[in-house]
Amino acid sequence: MSLFKKLFGNNKNPANFMVATLNDKIMPLDRGVVYEDPLNVLIQAKGIGEVTGGGTMQHENGEIDFCDVEIRLNTDKISQEEIQIVIDKLEELGAPKGSKLRVEKTDQMIEFGKLEGLGIYLDGINLSDEVYTNSNSEALANEIIRLAKIKSKVIRYWQGNTETGLYFYGESFDNIKNSISEFVESSPDCENARIERVA
């Protein structure tokens, strides 16, 4: 304990962190490419700080709930301008509505995010063997991305025991839903599928 005090006890400028909680069902590797890496380039270039990591929160069934991006600031001061730079960049990168930025030092919580999200859950147990044999979730997701004019080409998904979730983010949940309605109704893979708003 004495060594711990010696090393850290007299630190007058402890690390100052912000944590962005993103309402995005994105896989960990994709989170790094989509959010962490480009944000890190920006905030380092501006002398704000650096991205020091991230995490993913899952439901008990394994479905992703949200993810975090941790940012260490270069000073112990809280700058509203720097906070806004981080938020603006994350929104530019596609942060959905319902995202939050927490400033640990002040416990300030700021809601942000512009995109809305649609999840389509495919029936994984009740369709015919022929459908499952010929099923291609990646091709289906890419077709929805094309029809809905989704800007991000990253496929967000979850494979559960009884269903598969595919997630899409755009300017309007209703626009995404309407643009894929005919395809969903006609696709054998989408029989019994349910659609939910996820952001």
Instruction: Work out the angle between the directed axes of helices 37-45 and 80-92 (0-180°, nearest 10).
Output: 150
Q: Which CATH architecture has domain 2-112?
A: 2-Layer Sandwich (3.30)
Q: Sketch the domain layout of the chain as residue ranges.
A: 2-112, 116-197
Q: Show Cβ contacts of residue 99 under 8 Å, excluding neighbours closer than 6 positions.
A: 20, 21, 22, 23, 24, 90, 111, 112, 113
Q: Each residue's pLDDT tens digit in the chain (199 positions)?
A: 434 433 444 444 457 999 999 999 999 999 999 999 999 999 999 999 999 999 999 999 999 999 999 999 999 999 999 999 999 999 999 999 999 999 999 999 999 999 999 999 999 999 999 999 999 999 999 999 999 999 999 999 999 999 999 999 999 999 999 999 999 999 999 999 999 999 9
β-pairing verdict for 194-197 and 116-123: antiparallel
Q: Which amino acid is at 49?
A: G
pTM of the shown model: 0.90
Contact 173, 197 (CB under 8 A): yes
Q: How many CB atoms lie within 10 A of CB 25?
A: 24
Domain 116-197 has what CATH class? alpha beta
> Do residues 26 and 43 make contact, with C-beta atoms less than 8 angstroms apart?
no
Cα distance between residue 121 and residue 193, in whole Å: 5
Q: 2-112 and 116-197 share one CATH topology? A: yes
Q: What angle do the packed helices 173-186 and 137-147 form, to 10 degrees?
A: 130
